[in-house]
Every structure is written in C-alpha cells, then in structure tokens.
Amino acid sequence: MSRLSAVRVVVCDDHPIWRSGMRNDLGENFHVVGEAGDAAEAITVIRATTPDLVVCDLSMPGGGGLEVARRCGEETNVVILTVSEAERDVLDAVAAGAVGFLVKSTPPEELRQALWRAAEGEPVFSPSLAALVLGEFRNLSRAAGSTQALSEREREVLQHVARGHTYREIGADLHIAEKTVENHVRNILAKLHLNRRQELIRYAVEHGID
C-alpha cells in the first residue's frame, strides 16, 4: 500500500516550456512545489521545499542532473528524465545517487507510475536501460565486499531490486507479500551498511549480483 497520498515534486529543466508540459503530464496526484532551470537553483529550491521527488534533466547549466543527484541524493529521491540513452549517462546517474533514469519519450501514464514509485524510494529505469545498468556496472565491479551476510531470499530480493522491479512485482514473482519484500530490503540495507534504497542497485551491480 502506498505511503503517500500525493507526491510533492520539484521539476528541474532549463527549458520553461518543458517544465510547463511536465506539470500538465504529472496530473493531480503530483504537487509541483518548485521549479529550477539550472543545477544551483535546483539545489536551493530542493533544500527550501524538501520534496518527496525531484525530476531533473540531465543537461542543465551548472552540472545538470548529475550535480543535483550528488548534492541532494541523500535528502530526497532524484530521477533523471532526459532524451539520452547513452550508457555513460545512465551509469553516471546511478553513481551520482539518482534513484532512477527515465527517457522523456516515456508515455505519460507509465511516467506517472514510475515517478510515484520513485517518490517512495524504489529504483526506476526505463525497461531498455535496466539491463544496461546491470551489465555495464558489472564490468566495473570491484573485488571488495561480500554478500555472505545475506540469506538466499535476501539475495533473490536484491537481484530483483537491481533489475528495477517494483516491490509488488518482486512479491508476485517470489510469492511473498509486498510488505515482506519491503522488510527484506530494510534488512539488506542494514546488513550491507547502506543508507538509501537506490544504493542497493549500485551494490548489486558492483558485486555482480544479477
């Protein structure tokens, strides 16, 4: 069950027309509490409004969405929404702390569903990008660390999270309740000494858990 009755969102893009269109696409369940046209302004607005979600373009003056994710990813859920599908851009966004990476061509209803999940802390990626995130980060994997502390069920949940699956989808696939999935994620975070859910993706792909 959703923990949010509405999502407070900050929209960041250097094109005012796109920000206006985004407000319309989001619909009534999303409340735009701030807008910004560059990274510095975005960081200021985010810290002033403490939103549930930040939807940010990759390319803006002042470092773009990557700078916003680096500076604010610990404070709120940042989703990069861009025209780019370049491998490097996706990987850099994850490394910077973004909870998701979606393309601007995503249909409005799919976009709203993905952003709602992201506002609740779930990692979201356009379907064509999820496998890329796993595969490419695995190529950069480091030997450090271990998942020995995780149970077999926790490893299964972590694999699904790394693929960008929703808690509901994970529960259905593993035949467990959505709340049980959430509890597993909380336990995984504690065992791996991680603080934010999107870090699970980074951990999983860096350690070859696919």
The single-letter code of the amino acid at 29 is N
33: three-class secondary structure by DSSP? strand
Q: What totals of helices (H) and strands (E) does the chain contain, helices first?
A: 10, 6
For residue 72, which phi and psi values (nearest 5 degrees)?
A: -125, 0
**Domains located in the chain, CATH noted:** 7-136 (3.40.50.2300), 144-206 (1.10.10.10)
pTM (global) more than 0.75: no
pLDDT band at residue 19 under the 50/70/90 scheme:
very high
In tens, the pLDDT along 164-191 reads: 777 888 889 999 988 888 788 777 766 6
In tens, the pLDDT along 62-82 reads: 999 999 999 998 899 999 998
Query: Residue 171 CA to chain centroid, in angstroms?
Result: 19
24 CB burial (10 A radius; 0-12, 13-18, 19+): exposed
